[in-house]
Copies of this chain bind each other. A is one copy, B any other.
Amino acid sequence: MRLAQHLFNRLGECRIDCTFGVPGDFVLPLYAAQAESGMRTIVCTHEPGAAFAADAYGRLRGLGVVLTTYGAGALNVVNATAMSYAEHSPLLVISGAPDLSQRSPEVYIHHRVKSFESQLRIFQEITIDAASVDDPSTAARVIDRVISAVIKHKRPGYLEIPRDMVNHEIAETPELRPGKADHSHIVNSAALNEVATEIIARLDAAKRPVLYAGVGVRRYDSASDAVRLAERWALPVVSSVMGKASFPESHPQFAGIYMGSLGDQHARAVIEESDCILTLGVIHSDVNTGFWTARLDSAAQIRIDDDSVTIGYHRYDNIPFACIVSEIARRRPSRTRRFTAHDTKKTHHAELDGPLATANVIEQLQGLDQSKYSFIADVGDSWFIGLELRTDIFLAPGYYASMGFAVPGALGAAIAQPERRPFVIVGDGAFQMTGCELATLATQKLRPIVLLLNNSSYMMLESLDRPRPYYALKSWDYVLMARSLGCSAERVTSGDELRAALRRAEDADCPYVIEAIVDKSDTSPVMRRIRNHMIAARAKQFANPVMNSQKREIEPARAAKI
C-alpha cells in the first residue's frame, strides 16, 4: 500500500469527506492522491480561511483537515492552528514538504526558511502531536498516532509529508477505530465506579444542584449524555461562554450563559447560589470567567475535565471525560426530581422605524427559526450579540478570539452539517480580514446568510480605550463587494429594513449578505457591561487575578467588583 492511500483511507474511516486548502507545488502529489481516493478538496482563497473552515468542520464532525503546501502554505495556518489548540478543536494540518532526496544543508529550495526542520518545530509549539513522516517502515504508525492524538485530545495535530514519500510503499496497520471506544480498555473500572458513586451521592444530597456545560461537552460528543443527566436530576443547565450551545439551548432546562458578573444575570444567580456545580469541560479562561468576576464556591464544584475529575479539593486522574459523563448519565437519582421552569427568555423590544439599534438586531435574530441554522459568530459584538440567542449550534472563537473566523467558518459548517444553513454574524473589521471566502461559499453553491454589522470602527477596542484615529475603519462598499464575489447583498439602516432583508435572505439560493449600519456607541448588553467593568476596574486600580493553582479555584480579583 502507498503512504497516501493509507492516509486517505484513515481519514475516510474518521468520516472525513473533504479537506480544505490551497494547492501548491510541494503538496500536489497529495492532492492527486486525494482525488484518486475519491475525497473532495475544497479550494479556498487563502490558507488562513482554509484552516478556519477545517476547524469549523472539525468542531461539528470530530475531525477537520487542512491540506497545504510547505512554507508559504503551512506557515499561513499557524494562527488558525493555535486557535484550535487553545479552543480544543480537532484540526489536522497536513503539509507537503520538499523531497527527502533533495535535502542537504546547502540546498536552498523555495519555501525553505532556516532549516528543513523549522516548520516542524513551529508546529510542535501549537499541536498535541506533530511529525514528519519520513520513514516508510514507521509511516503508517506515525500517521495513526497523530490522527488518534487529535481525536483523543481534541487538539490539533500536524503531519508533514515529503513529496517523495507520498507514493512510497509502506506496511499496513490495523483499522484505526477512532472515537469513544478508544478509552474502554484503559479505564480502571473500580476507579470509575468510585468517582461515579461519589458524584451521584453529591448530586443526590444537593439542594440546588446545577450542570455547568463547557466546550468539552461538544468536543467529546457528550451532549446526549449531558441531556439525559440533566433530565434525570432535574438540573438547570448553565453554559460557559466558550461552551455556548454545547448543551442544546432549545432544551427547557437551559438557564443561560454564565460570564461572571458581566453576562446573563439569571444564569449567574442559578450557578452562584448552587450547592453542587457539576462542571463539564469548562476552561477557566479570562472570558469564561467574565474577566475574573466569576464567584464559584470551590467546595461545591465537581469538575470533569479532559482526563480527570476534581471534587471539592481532591482529584481522580486518568478518568476520560466521555467515559465518566456516560457513566453518571446511566445512573439514576435516589428520588424522582422535577424541574421547575423559569421564563428566562429575554425580550428585546425596539423601535423598528428609527435607525437600526443593536436591540433590533437581537430581537430579530431571536425571532428566527433557530432549528434551521447553525450560527457562526466572529469576535467582538457579533459574538456578544450571539450570546443573546438560544441556539443549538453556535461556533465562535470564544477564547482565542481570532478575528476573521466567521465567514470561512461558515464554509466548514455548511459542509459538515448540510441540513442547517449557516447564519454568520460578523463585524466590519473581521469581514475585511477574510470576507473574500464568500466567493468559495458561492462556488460551492452554499447559501449562508451573512449579517455584517458595519459600525465603521474597531468598536470593541475603542470602547475599552478611547477614540483614536486608528480605530476608525473606512467603510467599503460591502454590497458591491459581495456581489463581485457571487453573492446577493443589500444594505439596511432600520429595523423594518432588516426584517424585510431577512425574509429575502431566507429565499435566496446563494450567499446573502445583509450589511446592517449600526452606530458604534450602540452595543450589546454584554459589551456594555464589559466596558463598565473595565472602566470601574481601571478607576480602582485594577488588581490582578490571583489564581491558586493548588486548589484549582479562582479567587476573586480584588477590587474588581462592580
Among candidates B76, B114, B544, residue contacting A79 with C-beta atoms closer than 8 Å = B76
Flag if B114 contacts A401 (CB, 8 Å). Answer: no
CB distance from A293 to the nearest CB of B (A): 15
Known pairs A111-B400, A474-B439; A547 contacts B71 (CB<8 A): no
Flag if A470 contacts B400 (CB, 8 Å). Answer: no
Across the interface, which residues of B come within 8 angstroms of A122, CB to CB? 78, 122, 125-126
Is A105 located at the chain interface by the 8 A CB criterion?
yes
Known pairs A404-B46, A481-B484; A287 contacts B110 (CB<8 A): yes
Q: Which of A28-36, A140-148, A302-310, A416-424 contacts B (4 or more CB under 8 A)?
A: A28-36
Could you mark each residue 483-494 of chain A with 1 if its beta carbon is under 8 Å from any beta carbon of chain B, else 0? 111100000000
Across the interface, which residues of B come within 8 angstroms of A545, CB to CB? 102, 107
Is A205 located at the chain interface by the 8 A CB criterion?
no
Q: Which residue of B lies closest to A109 (CB)?
A: B286
Is A468 located at the chain interface by the 8 A CB criterion?
yes
Across the interface, which residues of B come within 8 angstroms of A432, CB to CB? 45-46, 436, 439
Across the interface, which residues of B come within 8 angstroms of A477, CB to CB? 483-485
CB distance from A70 to the nearest CB of B (A): 11
Q: Which of A54-62, A81-89, A224-232 contacts B (4 or more CB under 8 A)?
A: A81-89
Flag if A72 contacts B76 (CB, 8 Å). Answer: no
A76 to B126, CA, bound (A): 13
Is A75 located at the chain interface by the 8 A CB criterion?
yes
Flag if B476 contacts A285 (CB, 8 Å). Answer: no
A90 to B476, CA, bound (A): 32
Among candidates B47, B86, B110, B114, residue contacting A286 with C-beta atoms closer than 8 Å = B110
Across the interface, which residues of B come within 8 angstroms of A474, CB to CB? 439, 442-443, 486
Flag if A99 contacts B285 (CB, 8 Å). Answer: no
Question: Using a CB-CB cutoff of 8 Å, which residues 447-495 of chain A contact chain B?
Answer: 458, 461, 464-465, 468-471, 474, 476-481, 483-486
Across the interface, which residues of B come within 8 angstroms of A465, CB to CB? 28, 32
Flag if B439 contacts A399 (CB, 8 Å). Answer: no
A83 to B101, CA, bound (A): 24
Flag if A480 contacts B484 (CB, 8 Å). Answer: yes
Question: Using a CB-CB cutoff of 8 Å, which residues 411-439 of chain A contact chain B?
Answer: 432-436, 439
Q: Which residue of B lies closest to A434 (CB)?
A: B46
Known pairs A436-B436, A470-B31; A118 contacts B110 (CB<8 A): no
CB distance from A186 to the nearest CB of B (A): 24
A536 to B31, CA, bound (A): 23
A360 to B366, CA, bound (A): 57
Known pairs A24-B461, A113-B125, A483-B477; A101 contacts B31 (CB<8 A): no
Is A402 located at the chain interface by the 8 A CB criterion?
yes
Flag if B110 contacts A401 (CB, 8 Å). Answer: yes
CB distance from A406 to the nearest CB of B (A): 14
Flag if A544 contacts B468 (CB, 8 Å). Answer: no
Could you mark each residue 344-387 of chain A with 1 if its beta carbon is under 8 Å from any beta carbon of chain B, else 0? 00000000000000000000000000000000000000000000
Is A322 located at the chain interface by the 8 A CB criterion?
no
Flag if A72 contacts B403 (CB, 8 Å). Answer: yes
Across the interface, which residues of B come within 8 angstroms of A458, CB to CB? 23
Known pairs A41-B470, A106-B549; A402 contacts B118 (CB<8 A): no
Flag if B110 contacts A285 (CB, 8 Å). Answer: yes
Copies of this chain assembled into the complex: 2
Across the interface, which residues of B come within 8 angstroms of A46, CB to CB? 48, 404, 432-434
Flag if A79 contacts B72 (CB, 8 Å). Answer: yes
Across the interface, which residues of B come within 8 angstroms of A165, CB to CB? none
A480 to B24, CA, bound (A): 28
Is A284 located at the chain interface by the 8 A CB criterion?
yes
Known pairs A78-B79, A484-B478, A544-B99; A109 contacts B470 (CB<8 A): no
CB distance from A37 to the nearest CB of B (A): 14
Is A43 located at the chain interface by the 8 A CB criterion?
yes
CB distance from A401 to the nearest CB of B (A): 5
Q: Which residue of B lies closest to A474 (CB)?
A: B443
Flag if A112 contacts B86 (CB, 8 Å). Answer: yes
A404 to B286, CA, bound (A): 35
A109 to B545, CA, bound (A): 11
Is A108 located at the chain interface by the 8 A CB criterion?
yes
CB distance from A129 to the nearest CB of B (A): 13
CB distance from A518 to the nearest CB of B (A): 20
Across the interface, which residues of B come within 8 angstroms of A476, CB to CB? 439, 484-486
Question: Using a CB-CB cutoff of 8 Å, which residues 486-536 of chain A contact chain B?
Answer: 486
Q: Which residue of B lies closest to A543 (CB)?
A: B101
CB distance from A59 to the nearest CB of B (A): 18
Flag if A552 contacts B78 (CB, 8 Å). Answer: no
Having A71-B402, A99-B544, one finds 15 other A-B pairs with CB under 8 Å, namely: A28-B461, A71-B82, A71-B86, A71-B400, A72-B402, A75-B79, A82-B113, A106-B547, A108-B283, A108-B286, A110-B285, A111-B401, A113-B400, A477-B483, A484-B484
30 residue pairs A–B, Cβ–Cβ below 8 Å? A23-B471, A35-B469, A41-B470, A46-B48, A46-B434, A48-B48, A48-B76, A72-B83, A75-B78, A75-B79, A75-B82, A76-B78, A78-B78, A78-B79, A82-B113, A85-B113, A86-B113, A99-B544, A106-B547, A107-B286, A108-B283, A110-B400, A110-B401, A122-B122, A474-B486, A478-B484, A480-B480, A480-B483, A480-B484, A481-B481
